């Protein structure tokens, strides 16, 4: 009986505490947080424009990339490309997989194809610029970064990459 009385008292105390705190907050005016407008990334927009079949293979390739299966990922990206052969986005993703597998020559080929297929896709230019930097072709790298900025002026990443490039080159 004594334990039941203690439990009942504890439960009553908890409910009383909840009631008091809810009453205290009821009168307080709560500030509404500002609405944040989320903009989809360039990648998300590009992926959304793929056909259903290409999107399936793209997502499967992404999973393989995350698992470190680069060869399988490239095969799946290429399957996606069969459904959307003019996709600068998919060509750039294939190039990214080649870059991660230390095959810059193939990456450059796919990035050049990506730019030819979709000259308005800025990620192709910045990816190509990064390879040019690794190869010591600073002039071409700066040109590609500037083109990426021209195409996507609200993408801070390209400004940062170009600024980092200039800092390394000591071109202030």
What are 112-166's pLDDT values in tens digits?
999 999 999 999 999 999 999 999 998 999 999 999 999 999 999 989 988 988 8
- Rg, Å, the chain Cα set: 27
Q: What is the pLDDT of residues 2-54, one digit of tens each?
A: 555 555 555 555 555 565 555 555 554 444 444 444 344 556 566 767 888 98
Q: Which of 52, 48, 141, 127 is nearest to 94 (CA)?
A: 127
Q: Are 165 and 142 in contact (CB under 8 A)?
A: yes
* Residue 74 Cα distances to 16, 80, 99, 115, 166, angstroms: 62, 10, 11, 19, 33
Beta-strand ranges (E) seen in 108-157 are none
Predicted local distance difference test score (pLDDT) of residue 170: 80
pLDDT at 50: 86
Mean pLDDT of 98-105: 95
How confident is the model at residue 21, as a pLDDT? Answer: 57
């Amino acid at each position: 009986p004594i334990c039941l009385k203690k439990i009942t008292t504890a439960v009553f105390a908890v409910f009383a505490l909840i009631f008091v705190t809810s009453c205290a907050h009821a009168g307080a005016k709560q500030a509404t947080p500002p609405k944040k407008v989320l903009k989809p990334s360039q990648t998300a927009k590009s992926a959304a424009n793929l056909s259903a079949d290409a999107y399936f293979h793209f997502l499967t390739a992404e999973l393989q990339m995350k698992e470190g299966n680069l060869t399988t990922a490239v095969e799946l990206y290429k399957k996606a490309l069969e459904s959307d052969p003019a996709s600068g986005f998919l060509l750039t993703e294939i190039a990214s997989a080649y870059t991660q597998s230390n095959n810059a020559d193939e990456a450059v080929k796919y990035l050049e194809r990506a730019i030819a297929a979709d000259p308005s896709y800025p990620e192709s230019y910045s990816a190509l610029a990064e390879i040019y930097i690794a190869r010591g072709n600073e002039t071409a790298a700066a040109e590609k970064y500037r083109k990426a900025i021209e195409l996507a002026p609200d993408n801070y990443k390209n400004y940062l990459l170009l600024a980092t490039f200039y800092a390394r080159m000591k071109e202030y």
